[in-house]
Protein backbone atom coordinates (compact mmCIF):
# COMPACT_ATOMS: atom_id res chain seq x y z
CA UNK A 1 0.00 0.00 0.00
CA UNK A 2 1.35 3.43 -0.99
CA UNK A 3 0.05 6.60 0.66
CA UNK A 4 0.44 9.82 -1.33
CA UNK A 5 -0.46 13.43 -0.67
CA UNK A 6 -2.67 15.45 -3.00
CA UNK A 7 0.36 17.36 -4.33
CA UNK A 8 1.54 14.06 -5.90
CA UNK A 9 -1.62 13.65 -8.00
CA UNK A 10 -1.31 13.20 -11.75
CA UNK A 11 -3.75 12.05 -14.40
CA UNK A 12 -4.02 8.27 -14.70
CA UNK A 13 -2.98 7.45 -11.13
CA UNK A 14 -5.19 4.76 -9.57
CA UNK A 15 -6.56 5.40 -6.07
CA UNK A 16 -8.52 3.27 -3.62
CA UNK A 17 -11.43 5.33 -2.29
CA UNK A 18 -13.96 3.69 0.05
CA UNK A 19 -12.69 0.26 -1.01
CA UNK A 20 -13.21 0.90 -4.75
CA UNK A 21 -10.61 1.60 -7.44
CA UNK A 22 -10.66 4.93 -9.30
CA UNK A 23 -8.44 6.52 -11.93
CA UNK A 24 -7.76 10.25 -11.70
CA UNK A 25 -9.27 11.71 -14.88
CA UNK A 26 -8.39 15.32 -14.00
CA UNK A 27 -7.46 17.40 -10.99
CA UNK A 28 -7.03 21.06 -10.17
CA UNK A 29 -5.26 22.74 -7.26
CA UNK A 30 -7.31 25.66 -5.94
CA UNK A 31 -5.95 28.35 -3.59
CA UNK A 32 -8.81 30.67 -2.71
CA UNK A 33 -8.19 34.15 -1.31
CA UNK A 34 -9.49 33.05 2.09
CA UNK A 35 -9.18 29.63 3.66
CA UNK A 36 -6.94 26.71 2.88
CA UNK A 37 -6.01 25.27 -0.47
CA UNK A 38 -7.85 22.25 -1.83
CA UNK A 39 -7.76 19.87 -4.77
CA UNK A 40 -10.78 19.30 -6.99
CA UNK A 41 -10.64 15.92 -8.76
CA UNK A 42 -12.66 13.91 -11.27
CA UNK A 43 -12.38 10.19 -10.56
CA UNK A 44 -13.50 7.32 -12.82
CA UNK A 45 -14.69 4.14 -11.14
CA UNK A 46 -12.80 1.27 -12.81
CA UNK A 47 -15.66 -1.19 -12.27
CA UNK A 48 -18.66 0.85 -13.36
CA UNK A 49 -17.06 3.57 -15.50
CA UNK A 50 -19.00 6.22 -13.57
CA UNK A 51 -17.20 9.53 -13.04
CA UNK A 52 -17.55 11.47 -9.82
CA UNK A 53 -16.08 14.69 -8.49
CA UNK A 54 -14.28 14.64 -5.16
CA UNK A 55 -12.68 17.55 -3.33
CA UNK A 56 -9.69 16.94 -1.07
CA UNK A 57 -8.03 19.25 1.41
CA UNK A 58 -4.47 20.02 0.30
CA UNK A 59 -3.15 18.19 3.38
CA UNK A 60 -5.14 14.97 2.77
CA UNK A 61 -3.41 11.66 2.18
CA UNK A 62 -4.89 8.94 -0.05
CA UNK A 63 -4.03 5.36 -0.97
CA UNK A 64 -2.45 4.92 -4.39
CA UNK A 65 -2.82 1.49 -5.92
CA UNK A 66 0.11 0.23 -7.97
CA UNK A 67 -1.26 -1.01 -11.26
CA UNK A 68 0.65 -3.03 -13.84
CA UNK A 69 -0.04 -2.06 -17.44
CA UNK A 70 0.55 -4.48 -20.28
CA UNK A 71 -0.44 -5.03 -23.88
CA UNK A 72 -2.54 -8.07 -24.74
CA UNK A 73 -3.66 -9.11 -28.23
CA UNK A 74 -7.26 -10.26 -28.75
CA UNK A 75 -7.27 -13.66 -30.46
CA UNK A 76 -10.82 -15.04 -30.54
CA UNK A 77 -14.14 -15.38 -28.75
CA UNK A 78 -14.89 -18.66 -27.00
CA UNK A 79 -18.42 -19.03 -25.62
CA UNK A 80 -18.95 -16.19 -23.13
CA UNK A 81 -15.22 -15.58 -22.84
CA UNK A 82 -12.60 -13.81 -24.87
CA UNK A 83 -9.06 -15.12 -25.32
CA UNK A 84 -6.16 -12.66 -25.23
CA UNK A 85 -2.45 -13.36 -25.68
CA UNK A 86 0.61 -11.70 -24.21
CA UNK A 87 2.68 -10.85 -27.34
CA UNK A 88 5.94 -11.22 -25.41
CA UNK A 89 5.40 -14.57 -23.69
CA UNK A 90 2.64 -15.99 -25.92
CA UNK A 91 0.70 -16.89 -22.76
CA UNK A 92 -3.04 -16.94 -23.39
CA UNK A 93 -5.56 -15.61 -20.88
CA UNK A 94 -9.34 -16.05 -21.01
CA UNK A 95 -11.28 -12.92 -20.06
CA UNK A 96 -14.91 -12.81 -18.93
CA UNK A 97 -17.39 -11.00 -21.20
CA UNK A 98 -18.24 -8.56 -18.39
CA UNK A 99 -14.80 -6.93 -18.68
CA UNK A 100 -14.99 -6.74 -22.48
CA UNK A 101 -18.64 -5.76 -23.10
CA UNK A 102 -17.94 -2.02 -23.51
CA UNK A 103 -15.29 -2.80 -26.15
CA UNK A 104 -17.49 -5.09 -28.27
CA UNK A 105 -18.64 -2.48 -30.83
CA UNK A 106 -15.02 -2.02 -31.97
CA UNK A 107 -13.17 -5.17 -30.81
CA UNK A 108 -11.77 -7.28 -33.65
CA UNK A 109 -9.23 -10.08 -33.87
CA UNK A 110 -5.53 -9.15 -33.55
CA UNK A 111 -6.32 -5.86 -31.79
CA UNK A 112 -3.71 -5.04 -29.14
CA UNK A 113 -5.50 -3.77 -26.02
CA UNK A 114 -4.14 -2.07 -22.90
CA UNK A 115 -4.73 -4.13 -19.75
CA UNK A 116 -4.54 -2.75 -16.20
CA UNK A 117 -3.79 -5.45 -13.65
CA UNK A 118 -3.99 -4.92 -9.89
CA UNK A 119 -2.99 -7.61 -7.40
CA UNK A 120 -3.27 -10.28 -10.12
CA UNK A 121 -6.78 -9.23 -11.24
CA UNK A 122 -7.61 -7.50 -14.52
CA UNK A 123 -9.32 -4.25 -13.56
CA UNK A 124 -9.75 -2.65 -16.97
CA UNK A 125 -9.17 -3.19 -20.67
CA UNK A 126 -8.91 -0.38 -23.21
CA UNK A 127 -8.84 -0.38 -27.00
CA UNK A 128 -6.40 1.80 -28.93
CA UNK A 129 -7.81 5.35 -29.11
CA UNK A 130 -8.09 5.16 -32.91
CA UNK A 131 -8.68 2.11 -35.11
CA UNK A 132 -9.25 1.48 -38.83
CA UNK A 133 -12.41 -0.29 -40.00
CA UNK A 134 -13.88 -1.39 -43.33
CA UNK A 135 -17.25 0.11 -44.28
CA UNK A 136 -19.29 -2.99 -45.20
CA UNK A 137 -22.61 -1.31 -45.87
CA UNK A 138 -23.82 2.22 -46.58
CA UNK A 139 -26.01 3.97 -49.09
CA UNK A 140 -24.15 5.02 -52.26
CA UNK A 141 -23.27 8.66 -52.74
CA UNK A 142 -24.86 10.44 -55.67
CA UNK A 143 -22.83 13.46 -56.70
CA UNK A 144 -24.80 16.66 -56.22
CA UNK A 145 -27.40 15.01 -53.97
CA UNK A 146 -26.62 17.50 -51.20
CA UNK A 147 -25.69 21.14 -51.38
CA UNK A 148 -23.48 20.92 -48.28
CA UNK A 149 -21.89 18.10 -46.40
CA UNK A 150 -23.83 15.82 -44.13
CA UNK A 151 -23.67 12.43 -42.55
CA UNK A 152 -25.20 9.04 -43.19
CA UNK A 153 -25.14 5.73 -41.31
CA UNK A 154 -22.49 3.18 -42.22
CA UNK A 155 -21.99 -0.38 -40.95
CA UNK A 156 -18.41 -1.31 -40.04
CA UNK A 157 -16.81 -4.75 -40.34
CA UNK A 158 -17.57 -5.34 -36.63
CA UNK A 159 -21.30 -4.79 -37.26
CA UNK A 160 -21.33 -1.41 -35.50
CA UNK A 161 -23.16 1.47 -37.17
CA UNK A 162 -21.60 4.96 -37.05
CA UNK A 163 -22.23 8.25 -38.83
CA UNK A 164 -19.86 9.02 -41.75
CA UNK A 165 -19.72 11.79 -44.36
CA UNK A 166 -22.09 11.30 -47.31
CA UNK A 167 -19.24 10.90 -49.83
CA UNK A 168 -17.96 7.63 -48.27
CA UNK A 169 -18.85 4.40 -50.04
CA UNK A 170 -19.00 0.72 -49.20
CA UNK A 171 -15.55 -0.91 -49.30
CA UNK A 172 -13.66 2.16 -48.06
CA UNK A 173 -11.68 2.26 -44.81
CA UNK A 174 -12.26 4.79 -42.03
CA UNK A 175 -10.43 5.75 -38.87
CA UNK A 176 -12.73 5.82 -35.82
CA UNK A 177 -12.19 7.25 -32.34
CA UNK A 178 -13.07 4.20 -30.21
CA UNK A 179 -13.59 6.29 -27.07
CA UNK A 180 -16.48 8.24 -28.62
CA UNK A 181 -17.47 6.02 -31.54
CA UNK A 182 -17.08 8.87 -34.01
CA UNK A 183 -15.66 9.00 -37.52
CA UNK A 184 -12.21 10.68 -37.74
CA UNK A 185 -11.11 10.38 -41.38
CA UNK A 186 -11.03 8.22 -44.51
CA UNK A 187 -7.80 6.21 -44.80
CA UNK A 188 -6.08 3.95 -47.29
CA UNK A 189 -6.63 0.22 -46.92
CA UNK A 190 -4.28 -1.26 -44.30
CA UNK A 191 -1.64 -3.67 -45.56
Q: How far apart are the first and last CA of the chain?
A: 46
Give the three-state DSSP class for 6: helix
Residue 81, strand partner residues: 78, 96
Whether 40 shows a pLDDT value over 80: the answer reads yes
In the chain the domains, ranked by start, together with CATH numbers, are: 2-64 (2.30.30.30), 68-126 (2.40.50.140), 130-187 (2.40.50.140)
pLDDT digits (tens, 9 = 90+) for 120-179: 788 888 899 999 999 999 888 766 655 456 888 999 999 999 999 988 889 999 999 998
More confident residue, 44 or 1: 44
Q: Evaluate whether 130 touches 111 at the Cβ level (below 8 Å).
A: no
Side-chain-side CA neighbours of residue 98 (13 Å): 6
Distance CA 23, CA 9 (A): 11
Runs of H (alpha helix) within 16-126: 97-100
Q: What was the pLDDT predicted at 144? A: 60
pLDDT exceeding 70 applies to what percent of the chain?
95
Q: Evaluate whether 95 touches 77 at the Cβ level (below 8 Å).
A: no
Residue 26, strand partner residues: 42
Q: What is the mean pLDDT of the chain?
A: 87
Whether 85 shows a pLDDT value over 70: the answer reads yes
Q: What was the pLDDT predicted at 116? A: 85
Sheet containing 161-165: order of strands: 161-165, 151-156, 130-138, 173-177, 182-187
Side-chain-side CA neighbours of residue 17 (13 Å): 21
Amino acid sequence: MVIISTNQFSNGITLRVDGKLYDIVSFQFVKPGKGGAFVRTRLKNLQTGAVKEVTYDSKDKVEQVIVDKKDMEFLYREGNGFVFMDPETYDQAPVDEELVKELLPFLKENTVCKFKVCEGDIISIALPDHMVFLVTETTPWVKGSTAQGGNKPATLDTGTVIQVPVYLNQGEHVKVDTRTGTYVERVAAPE
